[in-house]
Amino acid sequence: MDANPKQQTQGALSGLRVLDLSRILAGPSCTQLLGDLGADIIKIEKPGLGDDTRAWGPPYVTGVDGKPTAESAYYLCANRNKRSVAIDMSTDEGADTLRAMVPHFDIVVENFKVGGLAKYGLDYENLSADHPGLIYCSITGFGQTGPNASKPGYDILAQGFGGIMSLTGDPDGEPMKVGVGIADVVCGLYATTAILAALRHRDQTGQGQHIDLALADAQVSWLVNAGTNYLTSRNPQPRLGNQHPNIVPYQVFGTKDGHVIVAVGNDTQYTRFCDIVGRPDLATDKRFAKNVDRVAFRDILIPILAKEIAQHPKDWLVSEMETAKIPGGPINTLPEVFASDQVAARDMVVSVEDSHAFSGYVDLIGNPIKLSKTPITYRQAPPMCGAHTQEILTELFGSDFKIKGT
């Protein structure tokens, strides 16, 4: 899908303005989502450095001169639909300018350490005293309270603290993190949801509020059934590799020429699957006929199924499961994902104009939200650091406004 950065379709959040003081992934993914929905996102960055993730490469965007730019692919993933302003808040003039900007904004998103913005007068207590309608979202590693509040937080630390690594990986291997920064991303989604709820409250009361979000809390929250399994039984779930703690068979199996996912969700599907692999007897065996029994006897059943499945080509098996309406499918590589006709049909790759790129555009992952009346728009490629500084200062304060902290 080609996206025009000058497209002015009114989004669901059009008219809202967000002051983005966040960096890395959790905060930027939240503000990017708000931007995709139409909000005006102003990203504040340190002059000459910008968001930490700009340097998290390679790969980097290839510039018009054919050489790598300072914009990493990591930075691209969470910073479209934003305008960048370079201000050094550590200077008095920079901090003064940011405080002067706040009345023009509905929302502030920040991920500094607890209390880190108070010395600049940019904390919630200081700003809300003069701007009671301000919605202020703080994202930290462990939250504003508790014994770990002062500790720094990165995604892998949240995954470790929150238990997901103890559940992930081969049973005989080491604890394993998820392949992307999932604690960051989920925390960003929770932040977006909280901001929308706070906006609704403000619509009704005129009052803003402080939102306190922690990577570790977000991680614990999405332990979902593994967490409630423990809370119900007090038995910790062991690492099961690709197996499911409550459903069998629901995992990856090796085939004659690769791997497939088999996700049998009920006993009827299991019976049909046994027919496909030529073992209808496994559906009538009392040890395996019901899911509760298959879970109890998985150590016996799985090797039997694995032997049968290994005799068949993966494409044949996927086709047979689709015909029998049994959930299952391939395990795609990233080239296969982005070459998929399904991904193309859903506009999950978007090309956004970027005058700094050699090709004239950058390819980005599309937003999965499909709104019928207020569709997602892609108006701005991830900006260069400080690319809009004077533009924004002029919008807010007039053409003669200059600061030394830019």
* The one catalytic residue among 20, 123, 184, 212: 184
pLDDT, tens digit (0-9, with 9 covering 90-100), for 112-145: 999 999 999 999 999 999 999 999 999 999 999 9
Is there a contact between 153 and 208 (Cβ–Cβ < 8 Å)?
A: no
- Cα–Cα distance, 159 to 155 (Å, whole number): 6
Is there a contact between 132 and 44 (Cβ–Cβ < 8 Å)?
A: no
Average pLDDT score over residue span 297-313 = 97
Burial of 18 (0-12, 13-18, 19+ CB in 10 A): buried
What percentage of residues in the chain have a pLDDT greater than 70?
A: 97
Q: How many residues are given for the chain?
A: 406
Domains of the chain and CATH, by start: 2-222+352-397 (3.40.50.10540), 265-326 (3.30.1540.10)
Write the CB contacts of 129 (distance below 8 Å, at least 6 apart in sequence): none
Say what the pLDDT of residue 64 is.
94
Average pLDDT score over residue span 164-175 = 94
Say what the pLDDT of residue 399 is.
81
Average pLDDT score over residue span 290-307 = 98
Average pLDDT score over residue span 197-203 = 98
pLDDT, tens digit (0-9, with 9 covering 90-100), for 75-119: 999 999 999 999 999 999 999 999 999 999 999 999 999 999 999
178 pLDDT band (50/70/90 cuts)?
Answer: very high
Task: Indicate whether 402 pLDDT > 90.
Answer: no
Average pLDDT score over residue span 56-75 = 95
Other Cβ atoms less than 10 A from the Cβ of 171: the count is 9
Query: Which residue from 253, 365, 364 is spatially nearest to 312, judged by alpha carbons?
Result: 253
Burial of 65 (0-12, 13-18, 19+ CB in 10 A): exposed
**Average model confidence (pLDDT) for the chain?**
95
Q: From residue 335, how far is each of 75, 362, 363 by CA, in Å?
A: 21, 17, 14
Q: Which residues sit opposite 353 in a β-bridge? A: 361
Q: Known catalytic residue: 184?
A: yes
Task: Indicate whether 247 pLDDT > 90.
Answer: yes
Task: Indicate whether 228 pLDDT > 90.
Answer: yes
Say what the pLDDT of residue 53 is.
97
Say what the pLDDT of residue 9 is.
54
pLDDT, tens digit (0-9, with 9 covering 90-100), for 7-36: 445 899 999 999 999 999 999 999 999 999
